[in-house]
């Protein structure tokens, strides 16, 4: 397998994805799909969170995974060389069927990445691609989740505004989730 380095200082974004697969599929299926069927030379994501809550690392820490097609807009240049990709398994046909365990473990995994990369911003794939992925509005989600800030070890509600990327470059959020970009809170 190819190894493309992703040094800590290069990480600017943490992107949330769905596998868009049946929920009973597992990380082995995903790995098989990306590496054997699509014949990619690197993993599809860094982390996969199964419906049972099992968290599995696919791409080694410090290396790039696939996940996003390079995209540039006035406030963002995002590509696999500056992004961590976290994926929940499910989301077939755009359905947000995250389980409780999955949601819990997705947040727990995110906590660690927010700590590890203190300047990285979180976003959903659908903010920089015409896709439903990850089947929910990450901006709204990030503002209301309860998580532990590992820098202070305190529980808090809502990821700080400056750590949420607000662009909806293809208006997927506004179209599918009624997200009103004019009403967004500014950091
Ligand atoms: Zn995606």
Number of domains, the chain: 1
How far is ligand 1, taken at its centre, from the CA of residue 152, in Å? 31
Q: How many A from CA of 115 to the centre of ligand 1?
A: 22
Helix (H) or strand (E) holding 104: helix 100-116
Ligand 1 centre and the CA of 149: distance in Å?
25
Q: How far is the CA of 16 from the centre of ligand 1 (A)?
A: 7
Residue 86 falls within a domain, yes or no?
yes
CA of 134 to the centre of ligand 1 (A): 6
Per-residue model confidence as pLDDT tens digits over 20-38: 999 989 999 999 999 999 9
Residue 62's domain is classified under what CATH number?
A: 3.40.80.10
Distance 181 CA to ligand 1 centre (A): 21
Could you tell me which residues are beta bridge partners of residue 83?
Answer: 13
> How far does residue 64's CA lie from ligand 1's centre (Å)?
15
104 located within any domain = yes
**pLDDT confidence of residue 11:** 98
- Is 165 a domain residue? yes
Q: In this predicted structure, what is the pLDDT of residue 73?
A: 96
19 near 88, Cβ under 8 Å? yes
pTM of the model: 0.95
Digit-coded pLDDT (tens) for 109-141 = 999 999 999 999 999 999 999 999 999 999 999
- Residue at 3 is within a domain: no
Q: Put residue 119 in one of left, alpha, beta given phi > 0 → left and psi -120 to 50 → alpha.
A: alpha
> What pLDDT, on the 0 to 100 scale, is given for residue 181?
77
Q: What is the pLDDT of residues 70-116, one digit of tens each?
A: 999 999 999 999 999 999 999 999 999 999 999 999 999 999 999 99
Tell me, yes or no, whether 143 lies in a domain: yes
In a domain, 124, yes or no: yes
Question: What three-state secondary structure class fits 34?
Answer: helix
Which range of residues forms the domain containing residue 109?
A: 9-181
- Sole residue written with tokens 């970009």: 181
Which has more pLDDT, 180 or 157?
Answer: 157
Assigned domain for 102 exists: yes
Residue 1 domain-assigned? no
């Amino acid at each position: 397998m190819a190894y493309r380095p992703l040094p800590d200082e290069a990480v600017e974004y943490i992107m949330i994805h769905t596998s868009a697969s049946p929920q009973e599929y597992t990380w082995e299926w995903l790995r098989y799909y990306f590496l054997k069927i699509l014949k990619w030379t690197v993993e599809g994501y860094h982390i996969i969170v199964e419906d049972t809550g099992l968290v599995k690392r696919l791409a080694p820490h410090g290396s790039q995974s696939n996940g996003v097609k390079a995209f540039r807009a006035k406030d963002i240049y995002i590509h696999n060389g500056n992004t961590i990709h976290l994926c929940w398994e499910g989301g077939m046909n755009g359905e947000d069927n995250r389980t409780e365990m999955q949601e819990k473990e997705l947040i727990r995994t995110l906590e660690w990445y927010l700590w590890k990369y203190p300047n990285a911003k979180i976003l959903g794939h659908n903010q920089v691609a015409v896709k439903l992925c990850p089947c929910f509005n990450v901006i709204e989600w990030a503002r209301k989740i309860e998580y532990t800030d590992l820098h202070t070890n305190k529980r808090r509600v809502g990821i700080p505004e400056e750590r949420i990327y607000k662009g909806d470059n293809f208006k997927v959020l506004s179209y599918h989730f009624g997200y009103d970009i004019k009403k967004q809170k500014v950091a």
